[in-house]
Amino acid sequence: MSARIIDGKAIAAQVRADVAERVKALQAHGIQPGLAAVLVGDDPASHIYVGSKQKACEEVGMYSEKVEMPASSTQGEVLEEIRRLNADPKINGMIVQLPVPDHISELALQIAVAPEKDVDCLGPTNLGMVARGKGFLLPATPYGVVELLVRSGIEIPGQNFVVVGRSALVGMPLAIMLAQKNDRANATVTICHTRTRDMAAHTRRADILVVAVGKAKAVTGDMIKPGAVVIDVGINRTEDGIVGDVDFEGAVEVAGAITPVPGGVGPMTVAMLLVNTVTAAEAQAFGR
């Protein structure tokens, strides 16, 4: 048995094409959606990520702005830049690229981003609305996972999901979204983490297994239920290149469908960031 490979690049391209059409509709009203990225410090990976987001904006006709600040910037200086972007009508969405230097509070920056422009959905207002099932901006990576499943024709309602990882970026918000009462959710969700006893016993029960722990090949083929769908969120740089949190070689022989790394969830995260930005632009222009 060899699993079907879920092509995140192809599905993300479909999403970007849909966004481009929405951008054109806004441009017909004299509106060009704009996304700003605040980058503090010189983390090489962060520069790559922000560059990919700017390129994606250009492809769909959005305006993008990158605000680069030195690692020596004070928290107050970064907050002032966020306040400027909050007030800038050209900017409909804003992200603060993580990580930030240790002397700056990530939470303080996330709180400072205006909720209507918080397209990363990391601020407490938007996360609270997500928890209540009322979020109109959704966390980009969990949103991407759900969209990937829906566009791949994989049923979500009634399925047993196991989410390995409980981060505020992926695991927790995804589990909340999947358990809610709507057509893209209604799943039964188990969250596993570092204190879970006999994790393999849980993962082997999953109809759909999502792994987001940030550890290379943490989940092996013998931990997967035959025929299960496996969504690998991890991106780990190793001597052998970029690998996921799932041992792909072992998993592909057991699973029914699986996302590769790279080329799976990663492109979807950027695509859903664009969806959130155009959604924010529409809301700011016409209300919601």
Q: Are residues 145 and 261 in the same domain?
A: yes
List, for residues 105-122, the tens digit of each pLDDT value.
Answer: 999 999 999 999 999 999
CATH number, domain at 164? Answer: 3.40.50.720
d(CA 150, CA 154): 6
d(CA 146, CA 134): 16
Has residue 226 got a pLDDT over 90? yes
Which whole-number Å values give the CA distances from 199 to 208, 223, 252, 254, 270, in the listed order? 15, 8, 20, 18, 30
Domain membership of residue 246 (yes or no) is yes
Q: Are residues 176 and 225 in the same domain?
A: yes
Whole-structure pTM over 0.85, yes or no? yes
Q: Which of 118, 120, 207, 245 is catalytic?
A: 120
d(CA 121, CA 102): 22
Q: Are residues 152 and 228 in the same domain?
A: yes
Domain membership of residue 25 (yes or no) is no
- How large a percentage of the chain has pLDDT more than 90? 94
Domain membership of residue 6 (yes or no) is no
Tally of domains in the chain: 2
Amino acid at 80: E
Which has more confidence, 49 or 75? 75
Q: Are residues 152 and 257 in the same domain?
A: yes
Domain membership of residue 185 (yes or no) is yes
Give the pLDDT score at 287: 84
Amino acid at 28: A
**Are 220 and 173 spatial neighbours (Cβ–Cβ below 8 Å)?**
no
Q: Are residues 109 and 144 in the same domain?
A: no
Give the pLDDT score at 273: 98
Q: Are residues 78 and 191 in the same domain?
A: no
The three-state secondary structure class of 211 is strand
d(CA 265, CA 7): 9
CATH number, domain at 68? Answer: 3.40.50.10860
List, for residues 114-161, the tens digit of each pLDDT value.
Answer: 999 999 999 999 999 999 999 999 999 999 999 999 999 999 999 999
Give the pLDDT score at 244: 96
Give the pLDDT score at 232: 98
Give the pLDDT score at 171: 97
d(CA 84, CA 171): 32
Q: Which of 97, 159, 245, 247 is catalytic?
A: 97
Is 180 a known active-site residue? Answer: no
Q: Which of 53, 117, 217, 225 is catalytic?
A: 53
Domain membership of residue 42 (yes or no) is yes
Q: In the structure, what pLDDT confidence band is assigned to residue 1 with cuts at 50, 70 and 90?
A: low
Give the phi and the psi of residue 102 in degrees, each rounded to 5: -60, -25
Domain membership of residue 274 (yes or no) is no
Q: Are residues 149 and 257 in the same domain?
A: yes
Give the pLDDT score at 43: 87
Is 215 a known active-site residue? Answer: no
List, for residues 230-280, the tens digit of each pLDDT value.
Answer: 999 999 989 889 999 999 999 999 999 999 999 999 999 999 999 999 999
Q: Are residues 147 and 105 in the same domain?
A: no
Q: In the structure, what pLDDT confidence band is assigned to residue 44 with cuts at 50, 70 and 90?
A: confident
Domain membership of residue 204 (yes or no) is yes
Judge if the upstream peptide bond of residue 262 is cis by omega within 30 degrees of 0.
yes
Has residue 98 got a pLDDT over 70? yes
- How large a percentage of the chain has pLDDT more than 70? 99
Q: Are residues 75 and 175 in the same domain?
A: no
Domain membership of residue 161 (yes or no) is yes
List, for residues 183-217, the tens digit of each pLDDT value.
Answer: 999 999 999 999 999 999 999 999 999 999 999 99
Q: Are residues 65 and 105 in the same domain?
A: yes
Is 159 a known active-site residue? Answer: no
d(CA 180, CA 166): 17
Full domain range(s) for residue 48: 30-114
Q: Are residues 150 and 92 in the same domain?
A: no
Q: Are residues 77 and 165 in the same domain?
A: no
